[in-house]
Structure 1
């Protein structure tokens, strides 16, 4: 089994945090989004992962090393491909064409899931979906009486179904998708100025390949600051229920209260403060004379005299002030 992760976009909706760090490497409860994604997929599949291929932009040598290490830690080979131009999901997948063989999961690195199900061995493909309240805001699946997916409909004006496509797919033989996407590229089939994975899937459906839904229990987005903070909150809750240790033994807590669930990284110092619930503090950060809840603070940052709620603060930042719901990028100073 292989996992293919298209992640070439910088994440403009999450700026300023993505000006220096690609969105999939933003930490959620202490781990990069993309790491949590592939770990959760590996748990669901319950199969040996041979390779994890990451399709990235010009993110730099260190990012590439970090991604390969994420794959290696799961016992898989890490492969890096580059998408030099933002030409869509179908084009991104074809940038990894040397890895498009055999059974594959394709997962876009801006979403996290909680799920527990077995793959249907008789299906040619599984499209993972989540029931939503407002289907008109999403791409959804249309199914026949046998509960097979027969059509993908983008933001339907009239009700088709309430099962939204979350951007994770399984192909029993991804080589078939590869051939269909090559046809899309060769014939310059473009929607919105981009080559889309949906056109490859529609080509497979037209040839009789069977698609079924795989429904997830939780679907968490990391699109902008508010939803990323909310995803951090929800993930902390799940990890706490799972019994995962979230507070580092190297943390220094003096005259302070930690209200769980919280992730407290290595060498964090908390003095004269209340932290939590739903707070992630990255390694080497300091909190002093403050109240912090429902917030995500990355590494090497200093917070004092603050009352934070629904805040997101980057790496190496310094904040001293009275604002509450803030979004501060890396190396910012507000004093």
Structure 2
């Protein structure tokens, strides 16, 4: 099994946090979003992951090595491809055409999920979906009586289905997917000015490919600050019984910790209340503060603060009062 992860976008809705770090590397409960995604996909697969191909922009050598390490964490080879220009989802995926062989999962890196199904790798293809109250902002699928997908409808104005496509796809034949994506580019077939995977899916269906839905139990977005803080909250609930959520090197002095929390290596917490639903990265200090439902990344310092529903980046210094914060890397703010 191979996983292909397009993640070359600039993450504009997550600024300032994506000015220095690609959005998929922002931590959720102590691990980067993209690592959570790879691990969650591995859990629904009954066979080993042999390669994870990341499609990125110009993110630098350190990011590329971090991504390769994420692949290695699930026993896979990590491959790096570059998308020089944003020309749509089909174009992005095709940047990794050299890795499209055999069974392939395509997963866009701003989507996390929880599922209680096991992937049927004998199916022609599977499209991850979730029921939503208002399907109008999404691409949706229609099913027949055999639980096969009959139609893909993009942002329907009138109700046709409440099964929204979440951005994760399985294909039994990676070479076939590659040829269908290449066909779109060779014939300049676009939708709204871009090459879209949904056009390839429609062509494959019309040629007899049978797509089935993989219905997930929860779909978690990391598109903006509030959504990411909420996703961190949900993940901490999922993993609250795991060992090691509070690192043994964390120094806690006169500190009240309200689970679930993640506290990284060499964190210092003094005269403070932390939790619930707080993640604190390595080498960060919290003094005389109250923190709940927030993400504080690495090498930062919080003093005399009362924060909730907040994100603080790396190398942030904040000293202040009660706040709902979104501070990017290398910021200093005192009040």
TM-score normalised by length of structure 1 = 0.98
Aligned to 1:269: 268
Quote the Cα distance in structure 2 between the aligned partners of 1:236 and 1:215: 22
Structure 2: stretches of 5+ with no match in the other structure: none
Contact 2:46 2:119 in 1 (8 A): no
Quote the Cα distance in structure 2 between the aligned partners of 1:18 and 1:121: 35
Aligned to 2:61: 61
Q: CA deviation at 1:122?
A: 4.5
Aligned to 1:74: 74
Contact 2:138 2:155 in 1 (8 A): yes
Aligned to 1:169: 169
Quote the Cα distance in structure 2 between the aligned partners of 1:264 and 1:131: 34
Q: CA deviation at 1:323?
A: 4.2
Aligned to 2:86: 86
Aligned to 1:294: 293
* Secondary structure at 1:240 match in 2: coil
Aligned to 2:280: 281
* Secondary structure at 1:152 match in 2: strand
Q: Residue by residue, what CA displacement relative to the aligned partner does 1:248-294 show, whole Å, maximum 9, x if unpaired?
A: 01111111100000000000000111000000000000101110000
Verify: 1:308 aligned to 2:307, yes or no: yes
The number of residue pairs the alignment matches comes to 334
Q: CA deviation at 1:25?
A: 0.3
Q: 1:121 to 1:289 in 2, by over 3 A?
A: closer
Q: CA deviation at 1:229?
A: 0.3
Question: Which moved further from structure 2: 137-146 or 283-292?
Answer: 137-146
Q: CA deviation at 1:298?
A: 0.2
Q: CA deviation at 1:193?
A: 2.2
The RMSD of aligned alpha carbons is 1.0
Q: CA deviation at 1:92?
A: 0.6
Verify: 1:27 aligned to 2:19, yes or no: no
Q: CA deviation at 1:49?
A: 0.9
Q: Residue by residue, what CA displacement relative to the aligned partner does 1:176-208 show, whole Å, maximum 9, x if unpaired?
A: 111111111011111222111111111101101
Q: How does 1:123-272 map to 2 (within 5 A)?
A: 123-241=123-241, 243-272=242-271
Q: CA deviation at 1:119?
A: 2.4
Structure 1: stretches of 5+ with no match in the other structure: none
Structure 1 residue ranges, 4+ long, deviating more than 3 angstroms after superposition:
none
Quote the Cα distance in structure 1 between the aligned partners of 2:51 and 2:126: 19
Q: CA deviation at 1:123?
A: 2.2
Contact 2:124 2:171 in 1 (8 A): yes
Quote the Cα distance in structure 2 between the aligned partners of 1:139 and 1:290: 43
Q: CA deviation at 1:98?
A: 0.6
* Secondary structure at 1:10 match in 2: coil
Question: Which moved further from structure 2: 130-139 or 13-22?
Answer: 130-139
TM-score normalised by length of structure 2 = 0.98
Aligned to 2:321: 322
* Secondary structure at 1:178 match in 2: helix
Contact 2:296 2:312 in 1 (8 A): yes
Q: CA deviation at 1:131?
A: 1.1
Q: CA deviation at 1:113?
A: 1.2
Quote the Cα distance in structure 1 between the aligned partners of 2:194 and 2:278: 38
